[in-house]
Structure 1
């Protein structure tokens, strides 16, 4: 018998590849952080001698969820300015709060709070965009979470940088420091067409080509953004003319699209980060997921930040995505349960160029996976496991989370982060930030 590190024994195994498949009484065999076998449990017990076996008798085991767009540190601004449209929310509330309080300690505490919530909600990989990206790096290492860290660029100064040249310089330095990191990568993150001018965008494209890393940007989030595009152009047109669009480009939100733009997204291989709950809450519009997928565009799912969602629950987000897609398309078959699970796992991995590493439970990939206990009344009786995961299960039913075979959540308890300390620090920041507080 071959000795291995770990054998996970769920009632159901949902590999995502092939699509729509559910394996009964199969085991996932893990060694050195990687999947070495997926096979019937009885056969696994004959062939392998695991150092540890995790019994999951009422659980579905599936790939970890990939949060394709978020601003983790903004968890400290959760609920500070609700029920407002995007630009009023940003200009009159979020940006002033950031200007007064943004710092490395603020970001580290915010990311720690966010990652505690994300892990307990089944997220194993996050694509983050925020100032002080080194804070995301520091806490991702601490948590053992897989992260793609945005190298943020604006035209204007923030507490993290004076302007686009400094943002790009700092981002390149961070990229160099992270070479060889097994779980952390970088991606350029120019904020949006209305906050970054042509010259920095051209530089970003040059560096992205040179370094082989992607670009992650808010695009066509609202009708106002499109109507007020620089030079009278639709932002998408401007980005195309600047040659930003390509298979390494992740466009976030994309609620305002023509049929020609959808066809171009497919032509250029652009990926979409769909954030349905944030779009709904800010009344930004509806991403036409059905049309995009029919055109062959890869669509992943993100939560956006906790200040505009207001949670970081990817299981809830993929449910909202599935339901909203049906209403927008007037088609009950749009974004089916298998398609929603794919969007929240393998599609996100593909957008981050990580689909050879994560996003499905197949031999050779990293053992990034989660267990969802389906024994609760809310998920009984079980006729279709995939439907129960998408339309009925809640994040409270996620019992175990593994990244590269390492447990980040066991039996509902975090193993790498002190959630009580994170909550206490959040309370201290609330006392500083809330209206009427003095420095």
Structure 2
């Protein structure tokens, strides 16, 4: 990557940025610029007009550069970074054998380190916003908020409110609701942390708790998160326990609505799809999770066509925004497009929108972030277009979906502040964090009662080949 401009060029409280390309909600345009002031986009429009309107502010020309919205990850597990590769090759429902045991061993220091590592990975992958689905650790989620804030990442912070299985320290329903209300009040006015409440899976809560927590989110205008219809085992467990599929169960107790953000929704019936349409619920489409451990792919293109709100999520698999775009389109093509001759499966623009504006919309943050527009927080990326992969350029949107790479991201800005430059933080020591994690993670993983069903690669190879 060349050094046509330096990080110091962005140290102004108010500045005019003039990229070669600007990615707006309706697509990429040339000859446009932005004014960033006090952490927000003050103005967006034709370069000539903005130069005349703001003749005296600092100006930076960004040749061969795309200025685009930061990616929005609508489903993440920030506290699971210590065990990333422990789940490779594992069959579904790894939360029972890996994640619950691992999170049960995390104290507040561990939560901070694991979450800050995840935040660093997210920023390196071009994500300026992530939605954390909650941790099962007993330690305070304040450690997650501090980690995200210290890293400079916008975070929708989930608080798990289960009152049935999967709880290390059970609580009375009244205590859970009180804690949920305090969580919302604590973070509702924060610049980077946005409160959310979560039930791990519908079967992990009583019907009364599902309804109460969903209603609290509706009243507060925040997201109610839960995992639904991800695996065959999950669907069958719901039918066995509640005589209903997960989405049907949520519908019956009145927990669906515009506040609901449903992770995965891969195994859905026509009836459940109609429930999503009618309720206004949002879905996090997690294509990498489907590829790595899922039983199916969410019919995301169909959901979009039917008007279901949809964002893209990593599920904590790999924080790489451009590769997520590629997987989002490719998974639809493999699962649905090939058999019917659909060669575009929504086109590149569909997945770019779901990775930015529609992702923010699914989280209820579209008034804050997700697009380059006046009044929105200045959450954006500077992407180097002067690379062989992007030349010659004929269709920039498609090229971003299928050809762009994480190493093209020069700068990552959240709330107008430069957080990463050429892949590394500008105001804190990422290498020190990595060294701390390397030591702590070994101890935590060794103590956690994790059960792997698939050996590490060398062990698996030996078992299959004898060498």
Pairing partner for 1:205 from 194, 197, 214: 214
1:288 is aligned to 299
With 347-356 and 106-115 compared, the bigger mean Cα shift is at 347-356
Alignment of 1:43-82 (within 5 A): 43-49=49-55, 51-82=57-88
Q: Does 1:398 align with 2:409?
A: yes
Separation in 1 of the partners of 2:13 and 2:90? 53
- Which moved further from structure 2: 384-393 or 190-199? 190-199
* Structure 2 residue 329 is matched with structure 1 residue 329: no
Shift of 1:264: 1.9
Identify which range, 155-164 or 285-294, moves more after superposition.
155-164
CA distance in 1, matches of 2:442, 2:142: 25
Give the 3 Å change call, closer, same or farther, for CA 126–164 of structure 1 in structure 2.
farther
- After superposition, the Cα gap between the structure-2 partners of 1:225 and 1:410, relative to the gap in structure 1 and judged at 3 Å, is same
Change over 3 Å in CA distance of 1:381–1:81 after alignment to 2: same
Query: 2:82 is paired with a residue of what secondary structure?
Result: helix
- Paired residue for 2:113, among 106, 109, 112? 109
Contact 1:4 1:48 in 2 (8 A): no
Secondary structure of 1:218's aligned partner: strand
Q: How far apart are residue 283 of structure 1 and its match?
A: 2.9
Give the distance between the partners of 1:7 and 1:30, measured in 2 at CA. Answer: 7
Cα distance, 1:170 vs structure 2: 2.7
**What is the CA–CA distance in structure 2 between the aligned matches of 1:426 and 1:164, rounded to whole Å?**
35
2: distance between equivalents of 1:394 and 1:50? 36
1:354 & 1:183 partners in 2: Cα distance?
A: 11
- Alignment CA distance shift 1:368-1:197 (3 Å): same
Paired with 2:220 and 2:361, the residues of 1 have a C-alpha distance of 18
Q: Which moved more, 1:44-53 or 1:364-373?
A: 44-53
Query: In the TM superposition, what is the alpha-carbon distance from 1:103 to its structure 2 partner?
Result: 1.4
Aligned-partner Cα distance in 1 for 2:128–2:177? 27
2:23 equivalent in structure 1: 14
Counterpart for residue 127 of structure 2 = 123
Q: CA shift at 1:11, angstroms?
A: 0.9
1:185 aligns with 2:156: no
Unaligned runs of 5+ in 2: 1-11, 450-467
1:55-74 C-alpha deviation (Å, 9 max, x unpaired): 32111111111110100111
Q: 2:277 aligns with which of 261, 266, 270?
A: 266
- TM-score normalised by length of structure 2: 0.86
Spell out, residue by residue over 1:23-79, the C-alpha distance to the aligned partner (whole angstroms, 9 max, x if none).
113211112222222223333333314654343211111111111010011111111
Does 1:148 find its partner at 2:152?
A: no
Q: Distance in 2 between matches of 1:396 and 1:168?
A: 44
SS at match of 2:203: coil
| Separation of aligned partners in 2, 1:436 and 1:170 | 29
Contact 2:424–2:430, Cα closer than 8 Å, also in 1:
no
Matched, 1:219 2:228: yes
Matched, 1:26 2:32: yes
Q: Give 1:9 shift.
A: 1.6
Deviation per CA, 1:388-435: give whole Å up to 9, x if none. Answer: 111101111111111221111234431244211221121012321344
Contact conserved, 2:214 with 2:259, CA < 8 A, in 1? no
SS at match of 1:78: helix
Partner of residue 138 from structure 1, selected from 132, 146, 152: 146
Residue in 2 aligned with 1:314? 321
Tell me the secondary structure at the aligned position of residue 267 of structure 1: helix
CA deviation vs aligned residue, 1:220-243 (integer Å, no higher than 9, x gap)? 111221122122211111110110
The 1:167–1:432 alpha-carbon spacing in structure 2 relative to 1, beyond 3 Å, is: farther
Q: Distance in 2 between matches of 1:95 and 1:50?
A: 56
CA displacement at 1:147 relative to structure 2: 1.4
1:96 aligned partner? 101
For 2:87, what is the secondary structure of its paired residue?
coil
Give the SS at the match of 2:204: coil
Aligned residues: 427
Q: 8 Å contact 1:111–1:136 — kept in the other structure?
A: yes
- The residue number in structure 2 matching 1:371 is 382
The equivalent of 2:465 in structure 1 is none
Calculate the TM-score normalised by the size of structure 1. Answer: 0.91
SS in 2 for 1:194: helix
SS at match of 1:148: strand
**CA 247–416 in structure 1, closer or farther in 2 if over 3 Å, else same:** farther
- Determine if contact 2:276/2:308 at 8 Å carries over to the other structure: yes
Counterpart of 1:86 in 2: which secondary structure? Answer: coil
Contact 1:150/1:216 (8 A) holds in 2? yes
- Name structure 1 gaps, 5 residues minimum: none
